[in-house]
Structures are given as structure tokens and as C-alpha cells.
Amino acid sequence: MNLNGWDEVDRLALQQFYETGQAWSWGEIDQASSARGRSARDWIEACPPPRDHPVILPVLHDDERSEWFAIAFSDAQCEELREHLNAFLGPVGSDYHGRRSDMDSAIVLESTIERWSGGPWIYRFTPLPECKNQVREALNRMRQVWRLQPMSERAPLRTTDAMLREFFAALLNTDEKSSSYWLQQLHLSGRLSAENLHFLQIERQGSLGRWTDMLLDARLSMLLAMRRPSRITSLLVEAVWRTELAGFVAGNRVADALAHTRANILQNYGALLQARGSLAQPPVVLAFLTAAVAAIPPRKEQVPLLLAALPQDCPERPFAEAMAAHVAPSIRESKADLLELTARALSSRDFDSAWLHLQNTVPSVKSCELRLDCAIELLGPDVARQTFDAMAQLQPDERSQVLKLRSRLRTWQEIEELLASQSGKTPTDWETWLEALDQDSTWSQALEVAHQGVSEWALNPYETDPGRVSKLAKQLLSNRPESAAIKVRSAIPHIAQFFFDDGVGEPVFLPIYQSLLWLLAADQRFGGQDWGMAQNLGVAILNAGASGSEYQEALELLSAIWSQRGDVLHLNWALDMLDELIVVPALVPGARDGFFTAVWRTISDNARRVSLDERQMFKLICTDLGREAEYSALTFPAPDATAPEGTNWAEALRGKLVAIYTLTESAGLRAKRTLDALCSSLDVRLNHDQGGSERLRSLAREADYFVVTTRSAKHAATEFLKNQRPRGKSPFIYPSGKGSSSIVSSLLSAVKTQVAS
């Protein structure tokens, strides 16, 4: 069936819709093996892709009674669909009455439709026997109008904050496809400027480790010349470090790094390295340290501060110390003129050193002029507040003198606007952010401050203070007004990103992961990217040395999520979680059994809808858990009924080389076992290298299909792989999860798509 533009999830939902015991079968419609099947297929192929539009589908019951279902995908879209049905169909010719239909979850057809729609957004109606053709023609005319004049609600009705939450959650999940989708939706919404959309694109490239692409962007020169949010500066500087300087760390090649910085980096990216402000990410600190030492003359005042900002356990710490040793200690005379030192630093565009000197000066006309000159590059809540306080100590005529220069006046106006928007709130960490939000649940800048805090607030104080971590974990679960609770929910991707290291959880933050998982499990609006976040948090808890009670609580939350919202469409998520539960010790076997039973029940109730690869994966999981009896108790369709499903892709994979890159070795091994069972002539090779290697290079060049589990892969390896893949080879395949089920299903989906095309 030709379903151009349909997402895979909607294709599967369509198949499930026609596998609900109707008078015609999915195979009859898909293969057009009868006149009525051909008529239904022609109708479906003419349907516009779901979600951008509603979908209208015919049903044929066993008694040959025909019926129509009109399915919308948001509340706003449903109301617009009602208006169109009223206009084109009206009350004549069918029993359509303009009211939404209640679905009975006990009836398979109706429960399937409701899951697909995602809400109570369905109309159903039966044409009168003598009016079947007229009803079909009316519905067809309505679809033609949709093509000429698309539905005004082209996506589910969402606020900008809600769409941004999905986008940032997709980045946290390293979900390439979804992050692209939500960026496109934000673009189509028209609610963000081109500049802000560009910033989001930079953040997406950074989360996917596409550092080279970031620096090759045709708009980079414009980006370097404009004032940027600090988080964008942070990502651009990190791109410079990873692509230009990180290679010098091996062998401690400090002299080469300094020479390269003087010859290339300061010339091409100097504008990025003028003001670090409060940015404290190790790659950013390392890049600024290298630039400070390489500068002529060196920025001596900055070197000890930058070295102190680098964590002691940072792998590049020895390299940084060797770099700092190239600069002789700065000897400042006690009578040194700090204002002169500030002016000198500003003349060389060393804003960080200039601001450092200004901290030791008393407010005056000259010092406030220099403060405003610094604030042009360093503007943020702290700099704004300190500059405002200094200006407040001047006399009115002195303030007028400071603001004579137009550029300083503009900066002063920006400071006033920033402080006004903050309404006195200047959070410096997550505790003060939550306190400010609880005091004012209508705080409009709350999410932007949280977003900015990911790159500006210090992580080290949490790493070294378990008591503080526990306090924050409890504070996240505090009772708060609904408007504040919604903002906390929207900020979950930012909070999780802050406490994840390169996508991997840290044991010290286990209480925070527990609180975030609890917030997700308790949220009635759970869906979309929440599945990926829940998986990441669950895996982090399991791998963080959880106690028995913590293990049990996490499994109970995951079981609640699955029992309340799980279905076959998300079976990969459940199988991936079972994958993880096999690897970690079962501290409370009963808790693991409870999750297993919930998944088993879903498979048992929907056996006809479980794919071959999912069955094989579950069979391996049952074997590894010693639950073979439970698998044997399942009743799947006879082999000949499912044979057509595997024929095309199995033939396409015959004799092919498939490479799987993942740092989760157990998931790779189980994926290999599954693929070997599905296609014995397939050559599957695994790789777990954490950086570029000859073996990885060889696989990238030779493999017919290459699966890269970016959720568990280091950026260095994924960037290396991208540069090794020859033209003409199939593109990399990125699973939506990092477990074995996601690996296998993503490969088979890519192969099926290729076969179909």
C-alpha cells in the first residue's frame, strides 16, 4: 500500500485498525485481493497523512453493515473536524449527529481507535443503505478541500512551552527524528523568531555531537558577530575544543596546541573566546585556558581562575596544568591602578580579566563606564545586578555623565529590562529557582532561566554534597500550585540534562533521578518524549547502586507507567527495560517479576499484533530470566499467518553485513542473537570502542547497514563514524532507545522502508 508521508507509528496503527475482526482483513485491503479490498485501499491511499489532518476510515462489519470513523489527533483538530462534517455531511444520509463518540475499551476495534487518536476525538456514523455512495462522495469532497486549504491546526494544539519541552526532551533522549520534527513544528507555528530557531538548531547539533556541522554552518560568521545567549556560546566554544584542540590532549602536546591556537583559532574564532562569564563546562574552560595562554601577551590573570574552574577529576586536568605552566605567575604591584588594568584588558577585548579587576574597585564615573563596557559582552543576571547596584551609588549628574555615550545607554536600558523581567529573581541554582517559582507561580521567565541555568549554574557543589542533592530531590516533589507544577514539568528536560553527564547518570544524583521519574509517572499527560526520559531515568537509577528499597520504588514506578499507558506501540520500550533488568542484580525479585508480568500480559492480550522480531526478543528475555514457561503459554498466530511479514526484509538482509555500535554490550549481544535467529545468513558484528579505531573505521566503510545507539555512545565515536561512512552506503540507523529491542526494530524498519521504495 502506498502511504507516502505516513509515519511508521500511524502505518502500524492503521494495520491494527483493520486487524480487529472486520468482515475484510488487512491482507485483503493491503493486497487489494478483492473488489471491496481494492476500493478500501484506494480510499486509504487518498487520505492525507494523519496528524497533519484527521483520518477518515471505512469499517465493514461481519453482517456487511458499513460504518465510518473520523479520527482527529487533538482537541482543536476535533472541533474543526466537527465543523467540516457538519458542512459536508450534515444530518442527511447517515446517523451523524455532531457529537463525539464514546469508545468502549472492552471492544478491540474501539480501544484500538482511541489509542491511535490519543484522546476522545472520534466521530462515528453509519450511512443509510440507499445513501452509501452519497456519503462517500461527501467525505471525498471534504478531503479535497483539505488538500487545497489545509486544516488550520497542523499539529496537536500545544503552547510554545509544551512544544519546547518536547524538543528539549528529544535532545535529552538523543532522538534525532523527533527533535527534527519538533523543530519543524516550532518553525511552522510562527511563534519564534528566525534567530531563536537558529539557536535551537545549534542546540540540536550539540546534543547530537555534530560539532563539525556547527562550525561549517553558513551563518556562523553572523552568529559570531551578534550577541548570543550564553548557552549558544558554550556550545560553539565546545565545538571548537572538540574539533580543533581535543586531539592535542593525547601525548600532552601543549606546544602544538598553543601554536595551532595562535595560527588558526584566535584568528577564526577569537570572537567566541573574549568573554567566558559564568560558563563552567570542562570543554569550555579548556578552550578558554588554551586561548588565554596562547594570547599575546598571555592573559595571566585568567589562567589561575580557569585552572581552578576545572574539576580535579577531569581527564584533561594534567594537560591543563601543563598548559598553565607555560605562563609565569602574574605579579601585581600593590599600588597598581585597577582602572588602568581594566582599560588595558578591554583594549585587548579580554572582558573576563576586565570584570575581574572591576570587582575590586569602588563605584565611580570611570568604574561604572567600564562596567557598562564589560556588560556589553558579559550581560547576565549577576553582571546586571552588580552594575545596577554600582550605578545606584552615583549622583544623578554622575549617572548622566556615564550614559552620555549611546552604546552605554543602550546597555543600561538592557540591564533595566533584564532586571525588570527577573522581577527581583536571580536564581543561582535549582533550589533558588524552585523557591522563586513557588513564590510566584506566574513567573513568565521561569523556563528560560532554567534553560540558561543548565550552562551557567555550577554542578560541582551538588557532586560534593549528598545532603544538598537529597534536599533538592525532596524540593522537586513539594506541593505547589498547578501553574507552578506545570512549569516544573516543562523544566524536567533541563533538570535532567543538568544532572546527566554526556547522557549517562551519576550515582551521586540518584535521589534526583528518583524524583524526576516520580513526577513523570504521576503526570496524567504522560506521553511523547516522556517514554524516552522515563527509560533514561530508570536505567540511571538501576545503574547507580540503588538500595533494595530504591530498586523496588523505581520498578513500581516503571510498572505503573506501563500498566496505565503501555500498549504494543511502545513494546520496544518495555523490552528495553527488561533488557536492563537482566543485566543489573535483582535486588527485589518480586519487583522485577511485577514489571515482567505487566509486559507479559500486554503481549498475551495483543498476541496477533506483536511482530516477529518482538516475539523473538521476548523469547530470549524469557530464557535469560528463566521464564520459558510463560513464553510457552503465549498463543501467537500460526507460522504461515506471519510468514509474509518477514519475507521481504529477510531476503534483503540475506548475506549482508550489519554493524551495531553500542557501549551497552549486553544489549548488542542480545540484538545479535535475535537477528541471527531471524536471518541465519546475516553477518552481525558488534563494536563497543569509546573512540575512533581501525576496527570501527573498517566497519563504517564495509557494513551494508550500520546501527548507532547514540543514547549510549560517546560523541567522539559518533563524530568519527560520520566521517568514515562512504557515499553510496545506507545512512546510519539511530534507534529510539539503547536496548536490544530498539536496535533490532530500527534496523528492520529501515530495511522494510528500503525494500518498499
Q: Which of 454, 441, 444 is nearest to 421 (CA)?
A: 444
624 and 683 fall within a common domain: no
pLDDT band per the 50, 70, 90 thresholds, residue 158 = low
Tell me the backbone φ, ψ of residue 432, rounded to 5 degrees.
Answer: -70, -25
What are residue 69's DSSP bridge partners? 57, 124
pLDDT band per the 50, 70, 90 thresholds, residue 166 = very high
For 530-563, how does the pLDDT look when each residue is reduced to its tens digit (9 = 90+)? 999 999 999 899 988 899 999 999 999 999 999 8
Burial of 161 from C-beta contacts in 10 A (0-12 / 13-18 / 19+):
middle
CA–CA separation, 133 and 279 (whole Å): 67
46 and 88 fall within a common domain: yes
Kindly state the average pLDDT of the residues 571-589: 90
Domain of 591: which CATH number? 1.25.40
CA–CA separation, 201 and 183 (whole Å): 8
Greater pLDDT, 160 or 641: 160
Residue 185 in domain: no
Domains: count for the chain: 4
Q: Which of 11, 36, 10 is nearest to 24 (CA)?
A: 36
586 and 719 fall within a common domain: no
619 and 519 fall within a common domain: yes
251, 204 in Cβ contact below 8 A?
no
Kindly state the average pLDDT of the residues 407-411: 90
For 273-290, how does the pLDDT look when each residue is reduced to its tens digit (9 = 90+)? 988 887 888 999 999 999
Greater pLDDT, 476 or 734: 476
546, 588 in Cβ contact below 8 A?
no
282, 317 in Cβ contact below 8 A?
no
Residue 154 in domain: no
Kindly state the average pLDDT of the residues 124-129: 90
CA 498 to chain CA centroid, nearest Å: 13
636 and 648 fall within a common domain: no
What are residue 708's DSSP bridge partners? 661
Q: Given a cut of 90, is residue 495 above it in pLDDT?
A: yes
Residue 276 in domain: no
Please count the CA atoms within 13 angstroms of the CA of 69 that sit on its side-chain side: 26
Q: Given a cut of 50, is residue 335 above it in pLDDT?
A: no
Residue 311 in domain: no
CA–CA separation, 224 and 222 (whole Å): 5
Q: In what order do the strands lie in the sheet containing 683-687?
A: 683-687, 657-661, 705-708
pLDDT at 240: 95
Q: Where are the alpha helices (DSSP H) in 499-588?
A: 510-522, 530-542, 548-565, 571-583
Question: How crowded is residue 708: how many other Cβ atoms within 10 Å of its Cβ?
Answer: 25
Kindly state the average pLDDT of the residues 439-452: 89
Question: How crowded is residue 569: how many other Cβ atoms within 10 Å of its Cβ?
Answer: 15
466 and 555 fall within a common domain: yes
What are residue 576's DSSP bridge partners? none
CA–CA separation, 498 and 171 (whole Å): 13
pLDDT band per the 50, 70, 90 thresholds, residue 44 = very high
Tell me the backbone φ, ψ of residue 738, rounded to 5 degrees.
Answer: -110, 5
Residue 677 in domain: yes
| Percent of all residues in the chain with a pLDDT value above 70, rounded to a whole number | 92
Q: In what order do the strands lie in the sheet containing 122-125?
A: 55-60, 66-71, 122-125
Residue with cell 520534527: 181
pLDDT at 503: 60
Select from 640, 660, 687 the last residue of a domain.
Answer: 640
pLDDT at 145: 76
Percent helix, strand and coil across the chain, each to the nearest 5: 65, 5, 30
Residue 262 in domain: no
Residue 157 in domain: no
- What's the full length of the chain, in residues? 757
634 and 488 fall within a common domain: yes
| All residues at 6 or more sequence positions from 343 whose CB lies less than 8 Å from its CB, including other chains | 354, 370
Q: Given a cut of 80, is residue 594 above it in pLDDT?
A: yes
What are residue 359's DSSP bridge partners? none
Question: How crowded is residue 293: how many other Cβ atoms within 10 Å of its Cβ?
Answer: 24
382 and 404 fall within a common domain: yes
Report helix, strand or coil for 359. coil
What the block records as the C-alpha cell of 254 is 601543549
| All residues at 6 or more sequence positions from 324 whose CB lies less than 8 Å from its CB, including other chains | 289, 293, 303, 304, 306, 307
460 and 379 fall within a common domain: no
pLDDT at 194: 87
CA–CA separation, 353 and 455 (whole Å): 21
Q: Given a cut of 70, is residue 677 above it in pLDDT?
A: yes
Q: Given a cut of 80, is residue 76 above it in pLDDT?
A: no
528 and 647 fall within a common domain: no
* pTM (two decimals): 0.72
Q: Domain containing 633: what range?
A: 454-640
Select from 129, 148, 167 the last residue of a domain.
Answer: 148
Residue with cell 452519497: 134
pLDDT at 561: 92
pLDDT at 538: 93
- Three-state secondary structure readout of 598-660: HHHHHHHHCHHHCCHHHHHHHHHHHHHHCCHHHHHCCCCCCHHHHHHHHHHHHHHHCCCEEEE
Select from 125, 148, 171 the last residue of a domain.
Answer: 148
Report helix, strand or coil for 1. coil
Domain of 718: which CATH number? 3.40.50.2300
Kindly state the average pLDDT of the residues 392-411: 91
Residue 293 in domain: no
Kindly state the average pLDDT of the residues 81-110: 82
For 710-740, how does the pLDDT look when each residue is reduced to its tens digit (9 = 90+)? 655 445 566 677 777 777 788 888 887 778 8
671 and 622 fall within a common domain: no
730 and 698 fall within a common domain: yes
Q: Which of 303, 302, 292 is nearest to 266 (CA)?
A: 292
Kindly state the average pLDDT of the residues 670-686: 85
